[in-house]
């Protein structure tokens, strides 16, 4: 297959919930701002894949994690791969990513990153942006409010022109002919 017919997608998932992220906030010099942090344990997961070449993302908000959810996400990524092209999904080696039972769509191939190397997956930076800009320092009343916040954060980030291209492009992942 010619290199111009290959799309590189970076895939990962992030947990978002009531015991969320605390991040820095602006405050007047000499003050100590207070931030609320919940202690409950209700979560959902954002499954995201990012194609910097196309400045495109494919995502799902799912209530849990595992091989079944990964299959659903691969199906979603598959729908975003241009007709006649082949998607290479770069991912970490979580157990549900490497299961022998995982059904992979015909227009996708899986490429695992080396173990314990999150710095190679730009999806990690997307999660940091979503947390810093939209999801940190918040309290959620219910599971539904967590899902709603995840959807809003996802749509706000992915709706920005060149946000994915600028954050996720890696020189070592550009397919050159």
User: All domains of the chain, ordered by start, with CATH?
Assistant: 3-19+38-172 (3.30.420.10)
State the CB neighbour count (10 A cutoff) for residue 91.
22
Contacts of 113 (CB under 8 A, 6+ apart): 90, 91, 92, 93, 120, 121
Q: Give the whole-angstrom CA distance, residue 8 versus residue 65.
A: 23
Is the pLDDT score of 25 beyond 70?
no
Better-predicted residue by pLDDT, 17 or 88: 88
Side-by-side strand order, sheet with 108-112: 56-62, 43-51, 6-17, 86-91, 108-112
Q: How confident is the model at residue 162 (pLDDT cuts 50, 70, 90)?
A: very high
Mean pLDDT on 39-62? 92
Is the pLDDT score of 74 beyond 90?
yes
Task: Give the pLDDT score at 137.
Answer: 80
Better-predicted residue by pLDDT, 95 or 57: 57
Task: Give the pLDDT score at 150.
Answer: 97
Q: What is the mean pLDDT of the chain?
A: 89
The answer to whether 30 touches 132, Cβ cutoff 8 Å, is no
Contacts of 45 (CB under 8 A, 6+ apart): 13, 14, 15, 16, 61, 62, 63, 64, 65, 69
Better-predicted residue by pLDDT, 22 or 105: 105
Structure-token pair, residue 46: 């954002």
Mean pLDDT on 80-85? 97
* CA distance to 16, 23, 154, per residue, from 158 (Å): 17, 21, 6
pTM as predicted? 0.85
Q: How confident is the model at residue 139 (pLDDT cuts 50, 70, 90)?
A: confident
Place of tokens 């996720």: 168
């Amino acid at each position: 297959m010619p290199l111009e017919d290959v799309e590189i997608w970076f895939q990962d998932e992030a947990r978002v919930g009531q015991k969320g992220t605390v991040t820095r906030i602006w405050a007047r010099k000499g003050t100590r701002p207070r931030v609320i942090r919940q202690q409950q344990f209700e979560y959902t997961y954002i499954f995201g894949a990012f194609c910097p070449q196309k400045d495109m993302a494919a995502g799902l908000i799912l209530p849990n994690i595992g091989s079944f959810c990964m299959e659903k996400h691969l199906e979603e990524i598959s729908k975003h791969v241009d007709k006649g092209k082949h998607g290479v999904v770069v991912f970490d080696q979580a157990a549900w990513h490497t299961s022998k039972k995982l059904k992979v769509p015909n227009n996708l191939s899986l490429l695992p990153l080396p173990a314990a190397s999150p710095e190679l997956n730009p999806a990690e930076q997307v999660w940091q942006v979503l947390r810093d800009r939209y999801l940190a320092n918040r309290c959620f009343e219910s599971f539904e409010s967590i899902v709603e916040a995840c959807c809003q954060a996802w749509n706000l980030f992915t709706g920005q022109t060149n946000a994915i291209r600028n954050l996720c492009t890696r020189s070592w992942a550009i397919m050159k002919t």
